[in-house]
Structure 1
């Protein structure tokens, strides 16, 4: 999988006027900086390059557990970067706020979801309440991001950065509002974006996920058959941190291997 870097101008490690920067950064044409982190084999010696994009409240320091033996065997080079407004990357004040294709997040407002699936889902009510709070009483969301009584996604970080700082608060709130607000399109009406109808899009979902229902992810994969759907029987929302799962993801993505444990069970059907 070849990668392409869009619009970099120079590598910048910070200037005397900037706050201390611990990671290398790419300076874009609009003057913003994106901080990044490299893992795996040297890029010049790699057979495949993989870009890992972190999720809500995370950063490039997210833990992606892969055996070093597999990395060297397949010659994998990893690039992780802080999304705009996270970690050491500058915020983008002109962000595109109409698309948020963050897997496995779903939006109960997508019109293709059958009403029979979402009508009695208690999470739908919770999302509605959380969306109202984020939109109209943002102070409560800021408290949740900064409080230390309960675990947050940042507790999963290898080296937690400025995830609780006020500087990233607006980014977190914007992400949440985009994910669960009104979309101008229905993702389940998308066609395969890859040439030759290749099936290189994967969804990994935990059966025991208490935040995103597996039934809705099954519904998406049924309506978009060009997506390969994998389901972890005992997996929760943070299944990416489970031992062995990152290796399974890479083997499926790069080698086409499918472990029988991650095939969806037939105990529940989707309309």
Structure 2
């Protein structure tokens, strides 16, 4: 068995402990990085945060400091809402813009799948969890496979606009048990590129 997981909240540790028996590995695909994690260098987080559009910076501040306002903030019509929800192309890399055309052919089914838990749970609550106040950071995590009975892989595109590659690199460098894979020229949607998903699964299962 293998799992594809985020860093988000306690899900990573909980999922691994739940499915550890028979688990051969776990993959994290461009997991969200919280700019307020205290273990991350301030200069790196400040630089990465400044690269976001100003209205997106404000939306993240709302999610972090006043999460009860997140839904209102991203549904009002007076000023721009967070780009992830509005669907702004500004957060898409060159590769992302090429890959997103795959979804346009079947947009209704794709949107329905992404929002199957409802708009609030699938979008607004996800933002609150990802950028809220955490009880721990990924750097607190311990190797779930201390006897090398499995492996954890972290995949990241180096042109991902939504998830800063500099912060992901730092996390990977400080978790030596994580196998880090940085994809050159790739954005946030790299799993949808031809052959990438197959490569990820084969690596997890040890299939050549």
2:182 pairs, out of 207, 231, 251, with 231
Residues in 1 aligned to 2:185 and 2:9: alpha-carbon distance in whole angstroms:
33
| Residue 244 (structure 1) shift | 1.3
Q: Does 1:191 align with 2:102?
A: no
Residues in 2 aligned to 1:188 and 1:149: alpha-carbon distance in whole angstroms:
31
1:162 pairs, out of 112, 127, 130, with 112
Residues in 1 aligned to 2:199 and 2:115: alpha-carbon distance in whole angstroms:
34
1:197–1:226: 8 Å Cα contact kept in structure 2? no
Q: Which residue of 2 aligns with 1:138?
A: 71
Residues in 1 aligned to 2:164 and 2:60: alpha-carbon distance in whole angstroms:
18
Please show how residues 1-271 of structure 1 align to structure 2 within 5 Å.
1=1, 50=2, 98-99=9-10, 101=12, 103-121=30-48, 122-123=50-51, 128-133=57-62, 135=67, 136=69, 138-142=71-75, 150=88, 155=103, 159-160=109-110, 162=112, 168-171=118-121, 172-198=123-149, 200-255=151-206
Point out which structure has higher relative CO (alpha carbons under 8 A, 6+ apart): 2
Structure having the higher helix fraction is 2
- TM-score, normalising length from structure 2? 0.63
Residues in 2 aligned to 1:163 and 1:128: alpha-carbon distance in whole angstroms:
27
| Residue 166 (structure 1) shift | 10
Structure having the higher strand fraction is 1
Q: Say which is worse superposed, 218-227 or 157-166, in terms of deviation.
A: 157-166
Residues in 2 aligned to 1:245 and 1:148: alpha-carbon distance in whole angstroms:
27
SS in 2 for 1:203: strand
Change over 3 Å in CA distance of 1:202–1:133 after alignment to 2: same
Please list every run of 5 or more consecutive structure 1 residues that lacks an aligned counterpart in the other structure: 2-49, 56-96, 258-271
| Residue 126 (structure 1) shift | 5.9
Residues in 1 aligned to 2:115 and 2:162: alpha-carbon distance in whole angstroms:
25
Change over 3 Å in CA distance of 1:138–1:202 after alignment to 2: same
Query: For residues 128-151 of structure 1, what are the alpha-carbon distances to aligned partners after superposition, in whole Å with 9 as ceiling and x for unaligned?
Result: 411345532523424769x88757
SS in 1 for 2:147: helix
1:127–1:180: 8 Å Cα contact kept in structure 2? no
Structure 1 segments (4+ residues) deviating >6 Å: 151-154, 164-167
2:70–2:128: 8 Å Cα contact kept in structure 1? no
